[in-house]
Structure 1
């Protein structure tokens, strides 16, 4: 969840049932309850990344007065609510100013601003906070920004980057301090064909995907070009998620920090396989995480498996989803036919 909790400025922004309401009312009395309801209905744990302010400054003093402009103190209340839930809290920058060298000429100010951010969060939550997830504002971060981000917050384990990166740094990779650079997979509410296609592509390559939305999507001309209502966008989100649950019932929902070790394992561990006389053997190292999952394409049925089990089968595609529970799995196929593994 990008940009939440976020400051609200008590200005009229959205029309609900023919009536204009303020940004504060929309974010915290319409969007926030809907998103919590969605999480409860579908058993989802979110990772929220907060920007805290939008002042755009890259020079001290680094302050957070915007966070308390709301007449209802709603941003603070939502922050405390997230902290006391199964959701996860991460960062979207100090003030939504991208951590790039051109925007922060004095790179040490990145450290100062993020240190102030940690201290501010600890004060309003009443305890020290461990931050492991960072999503780049405006999808932009460079090697300098990442270096100083980790200098300020060494507990960061994942950095979310652009949907479609134009540089190598935005691609799936492991950088300093074993930090994962993870491009955002999918976003938004429509068109559903685009979202679904991007999801399938990411699943086929990495076995998982991340979907991003924002509380201000409804009045963003870029993200809501058809000017849909929030009810319509919420309905689209439900349609998308129901499609995913129906087509991929084997997927597990995780927060960003929970997913980290699995992405890290995927990018660092190797496996070997042999295929002889209708028998497929897959071997992974003893240090690999278990269970591990493989897609196996075969026109021939499986007769016997040791060390794992089939958790789903796509008959139209001759595709098996294998859950590997031991470091060596043996799969015996029925005799005859050709296999693609």
Structure 2
């Protein structure tokens, strides 16, 4: 009898249910998503559902994974699996909660970002066969005449801004002195940097070199890096790369840091604060790291005031997991953050042995999917999004529900605030806000004043 409350007619033995298919828009914009990627393996029971249950997601073989069942004046939401323990799946939780109540509204950041790590940076001399055969250009000519114009064109078409992460040197010096390394390239910094800024983008710091700021030998060995001599030496390297950037752009304020290889130790973080008083945001990784070498973040303002703003996905080519991770972050947070490297084409693993034409086509298709599925996301740079994120985290909203209306009252409001509203009701009279449909039964609410109201129809 108890199982019927949950919409279950019969239960079989647990088994490894592979793949996932969304029969609903529990993830915004992703109704019909299907993948048998190895990531999607749930320990699930074989389930037969009541005909009255609303099926929201299944495994590849059709076994129910997520469903809703009305009961009395309320409803049950059931997930028949084990994958929700991982934070990358939080969008499923947010979407499922939104389908439990007649109206469900929650704040989001409403931002989309894209980073280019290791750019501008020293460009290696010479050529590689795949590039020379295709373009009759060496590596430097390829970056200047092919890769960078293509990247600018892709961003303009997709309505995105780049945040570029400078590397001053690829020498593995972790002891100092650091001034004027032999391979630094001030010309390319100025040339590419001006174009990043002119395109509406931002220049941040990726590192003095590509040796992650940490002193744990186990973590250093993971990427065959060196361990820094001390926090003071780390701070000296940060001071040098900031000076290098300021020599190129004397009046430009640099406020964003992207850890090399997404690794950063507590001592490295202390070195950053010591050498960089106006450091505003650190952007590393969101997803858990089973190897425990990465600097994994939540979206928050740390006790020292630095904004923690992780990235979600990476690479030029789309993949089922990347699409899933992005959709979960957009559904739960209204946030898209992606990164690529200039030299992915030079790396067999990161470039997947594909030509630049293939990588560029994949990249533009990926960005077009983002633009067409989530046209409401605002294009921002790292610092713009971080300051906006801080504003959202510092604000609070009080909801009052009366028949036919949702009333919101914001404290600490500073500019527009954004919310996702799920409801099957039509949208009625609005006060001090706008409401735009972004999916079936899903709306983006923009609060224009601290007190606002959403009217609801039948």
TM over 0.5: yes
Q: Which moved more, 1:5-14 or 1:47-56?
A: 5-14
Determine if the alignment matches structure 1 residue 104 to structure 2 residue 228: yes
Q: Is the 8 A contact 1:9 1:23 kept in 2?
A: yes
| Mean Cα deviation higher: 53-62 or 14-23 | 14-23
Deviates more, 1:20-29 or 1:32-41: 20-29
Say whether the 8 Å CA contact 1:118–1:129 is kept in structure 2. no
- Post-superposition Cα deviations, 1:155-210, rounded to whole Å, max 9, x if no partner, equal 11111112524468533232254211122111112234333222111112221211
Following superposition of structure 1 onto structure 2, how do residues 52-67 of structure 1 map, counting pairs within 5 Å? Answer: 52-62=168-178, 63-67=180-184
Q: Is the 8 A contact 2:121 2:185 kept in 1?
A: no
CA 1:237–1:85: 2 relative to 1, 3 Å: closer
Quick check: 1:304 aligned with 2:429?
yes
Asked if the contact 2:407–2:451 (Cα under 8 Å) also holds between the matched residues in 1, the reply is: yes
Alpha-carbon offset, residue 44 of structure 1? 2.8
Query: Which structure: greater helix fraction?
Result: 1
Q: Residue 220 and residue 106 in structure 1: after superposition, are their counterparts in 2 closer, same or farther (change >3 A)?
A: same
- Equivalent positions of 1:125-136 (< 5 A) are 125=249, 127-136=250-259
2:206 to 81, 88, 92: 92
Give the structure 2 partner of residue 115 of structure 1.
239
Given the alignment, which residue of 325, 330, 333 partners 2:448?
325
Radius of gyration: which is bigger?
2
**1:137 is matched with which residue?**
260
Task: Give 1:267 deviation, angstroms.
Answer: 2.6
> What is the aligned partner in structure 2 of residue 15 from structure 1?
130
Aligned partner of 2:23 in structure 1 is none
Q: 1:175 aligns with which of 267, 292, 302?
A: 302
Deviation at 1:90, TM superposition (A): 0.6
Residue 290 (structure 2) pairs with residue 290 (structure 1): no
1:121–1:191 CA distance, 2 compared to 1 (3 A): closer
Shift of 1:84: 5.3
1:77 equivalenced with 2:77 (yes/no): no
Separation in 2, partners of 1:330, 1:79: 44
Match of 1:208 among 299, 315, 335: 335
- Counterpart-to-counterpart distance in 2, 1:80 and 1:309: 37
Pairwise CA distance, 1:76 = 4.8
Q: Identify if the C-alpha distance between structure 1 residues 78 and 332 changes in structure 2 by more than 3 Å, giving closer, same or farther.
A: closer
**CA deviation after TM superposition for structure 1 residue 237, in Å:** 1.4
TM-score, length basis structure 1: 0.88
More strand by share: 2
Contact 1:67–1:75 (CA under 8 A) maintained in structure 2: no
Change (3 A) 1:5 1:313: closer
Shift of residue 264 of structure 1?
Answer: 1.0
Q: Which of 259-268 and 150-159 deviates more?
A: 259-268
The answer to whether the Cα contact below 8 Å between 2:376 and 2:438 also exists between their aligned partners in 1 is no
CA distance in 2, matches of 1:114, 1:104: 12
Structure 1 Cα separation of the partners of residues 139 and 281 of structure 2:
30
Higher relative contact order (CA closer than 8 Å, sequence separation 6+): 2
Q: Which sections of structure 2, spanning at least 5 residues, go unmatched?
A: 1-115, 217-226
TM-score scaled by length of structure 2: 0.67
Distance in structure 1 (CA, Å) of the matches to 2:375 and 2:165: 27
Of 152, 163, 173, 1:47 maps to: 163
| 1:189 matches 2:319 | no
Tell me if structure 2 keeps the 8 A contact 1:165–1:183: no
Alpha-carbon distance in structure 2 between the residues aligned to 1:51 and 1:303: 52
Question: 1:211: how far off?
Answer: 1.3
